Amino acid sequence: MSTTRNSSEGILTTQKLKALLDSGLGGAVCSRKALAEAMSRADAPISVHGIDAWFKHVDSNYAIPRASVDHHRRSYPVPVQRWPALLQIFAIELEDLQRDDAEFRQWCFARRRSQCSRRAHASLDLHMVHCAPEGMEDFIAAERAWLTDLGCRVDDAHALARISDTALIRALQQCHVVLWHLAPPGVVTRRDSGILDYLLSQELPLLISSDADTIAPRGLASDRMIPRPLRFGPRYQQRLVSALNAVANEPLVAQHNGAFWAAQEPITDRPSIAVLPFVNLTGNDAHELLADSMTEDLTTLLARIPEFFVIAHATTRIYRHALPDPQTVRRQLGVRYVLEGSIRSAGDQLRISAQLVDAQSGAEVWSHRFDRVFVEPFATQDELTAAICAQLEPRLRLDDMAYGARSGNQSAWRLWQEGWYWLFVDAPAPRPERSLRRFRQALELEPDFGLAEAGIAIGLSTSLLWGGDGREVLPIAQRHAERAFQLLPEHPVALYAMGMITFTQPGGLAPALEYLERAVQIEPSNAMYQGVCGYLIANLGRSAEGLDRCRYAMRLSPKDSREPFLCYMLGNACIASGRYEEAIEVMARCRRFSEVDFIWIMMGFAYAQLGKQRRALGCLRQIKHPRPYRFYRFAVMQSLWLGLPTAAKEAYLALLPQAGISAQA
């Protein structure tokens, strides 16, 4: 037998073994551990480490490099002496190996689906999905009642679609037959064309009824058509029963690829999520790649959030041709949340629907639709992926925090989550006491908890910037930030803490931006990090770039609970760009900042540049606890709007004494 490089035909390779495990042809043998146990029972004992060694590029005992059968796929031959036991476990023959790795994988999944086939035997005990246009309610009601009496379970496709696209697709995948009514005669509407293309691609049993003598939707076999007059009479009933009997005598695919998996224990210490493959309902093969790429990118972006546990894309891809219900995914993967979605199109207009489901209860936690023009595929994909993650992340944190409170879980991580939430959701006060208290409690429970260290540093830095504490807390905040950075040098929260500490010191804008840009690289969908970057860039003199970044942050998460903070950043960038009226309008949405002096400093400056001195003075007089004049002078001259003329700043600072902020040392 040849073992020629780059050719896996006729060889049991590691990629073929992986396909056997993934497809479930071995029943309960769907992991390397289960395979080792099965081989031991078959008098071919081997350890998990021995099986793992087959997948490595060196011999595990002697560190001798092994030649790959397919260099690009990193596929290696499985020892021939192990073949008899493996062939027996997976019930395959030597002849079945006469395919390359890619073809063998497709063959495995096709065979598994055929093994899961179901038949309806003596009766018409079928699960049907009914798809009919509007205006046929009376006819459909009579037909559904009659089919139900025959023993058919009937779902309404349009009613399911109103719930979500995935609810419809899940029902389609689990049904025995789809009954499709066309009106006008023989015409498939644009609304239903994507669903019909999906049905044809899945080769689901399909019955079509119409007034037309012949119907020829693309790819539909003529023996599945039922021409009829548009009335519910004996002749139509006879034809439909004959067609249903014909379908009942065909092997019907059960769309449950994962039913053979052993139940997994839920992961409860942090939010766990599985991103299911997005369903392509466009009828366009070009969008199939977009759907798959979006699923992979969403998985990657969510996995970059260190507090989340995200199931790998390679695992969830097995659901590509079968969309299981969330409870099944929870049982198989041990996750708390399932993210699912679909893609529709009409011309160049693309609609992405996504929903987050609590896999324990099946309740929808969050859902949203995104409409974009599909012109540049990669740009559209990146924008949609970032937008979904940005809107999903705050909702997921909040829901999981509430779940933890209900379950009584008060671990260090949970306390940190609560502190982080209240830091941005509380009405901004000069000192974020509620957040600091939780961060310190978390640190007491776990002394080397880097996130709690970072939280304390951020809370104290915020207090220092907003006047809740004086410069005496700076060494304490700096110590906590440096400790967090030492423990978690590549964590975005630790980088954010270092950026905040750097910002509070003279000349700290550029170094602070370096830390925040690194945080954005790690977690690009975080609107807060994006907004702070825009704020710093605008104040450094690159006003147009900073304004664009702040607007992007607002677009990423338009309904974010941290909206006042994002408006604060955007308003500052508008001032740096000379857009004073827009700045006032934006900062008017920051009324929760009334206790923070800098919201009034910024709004007053915008009014002053518009020549509205009385309104500028009115803003300055809103400051309840003013700090020394020299502090505001340093901030305006050295930390804010470095690209604006010095003369304009001096003229504005001259208003501060009139508002009661003494210019004396």
Residues 6+ positions from 522 with CB-CB distance below 8 Å: 304, 490, 491, 492, 495
Task: Please check whether the domain covering 127-248 is classified as CATH 3.40.50.450.
Answer: yes
Q: Are 606 and 654 in contact (CB under 8 A)?
A: no
Gyration radius of the chain over CA positions: 31
- Successive 10-residue mean pLDDT values, the chain, 665 residues: 55 88 77 85 82 75 69 80 87 86 83 52 60 67 72 77 74 74 56 62 63 39 40 61 62 36 53 82 70 78 71 72 75 81 77 82 77 69 72 62 44 78 67 87 85 91 80 90 88 90 84 90 81 93 92 73 82 94 87 79 93 92 86 88 92 90 66
pLDDT at 542: 92
Consecutive H or E run containing 420: helix 412-425
Gap between the Cα atoms of 634 and 443, Å rounded: 35
Q: Are 396 and 356 in contact (CB under 8 A)?
A: yes
Residue among 489, 491, 511, 490 at smallest CA distance from 500: 511
Structure token digits, residue 294? 């979006």
3-state secondary structure of 344: strand
Residues 6+ positions from 54 with CB-CB distance below 8 Å: 14, 17, 76, 78, 79
- Length of the chain, in residues: 665
Q: Is the Cα torsion angle 451, 310, 313, 349 positive or negative in sign? A: negative
pTM value surpassing 0.75: no
CATH number of this structure's domain 272-407, picked from the four choices 3.40.50.2000, 3.40.50.10610, 3.60.20.10, 3.40.50.150? 3.40.50.10610
What is the CATH T-level fold of the domain 526-665, as seen in this structure? 1.25.40
pLDDT at 123: 44
Q: Are 380 and 372 in contact (CB under 8 A)?
A: yes
Residues 6+ positions from 133 with CB-CB distance below 8 Å: 181, 182, 183, 189
176 backbone dihedrals φ, ψ, rounded to 5°: -90, -30
CA 648 and chain centroid, separation = 46
Q: Are 596 and 430 in contact (CB under 8 A)?
A: yes
pLDDT at 616: 92
Structure token digits, residue 291? 């759907």
Angle at 342 between CA 108 and CA 128, to 5 degrees: 70
Q: Is 256 left (phi over 0), alpha (psi -120 to 50) or beta?
A: beta
Amino acid present at 205: P
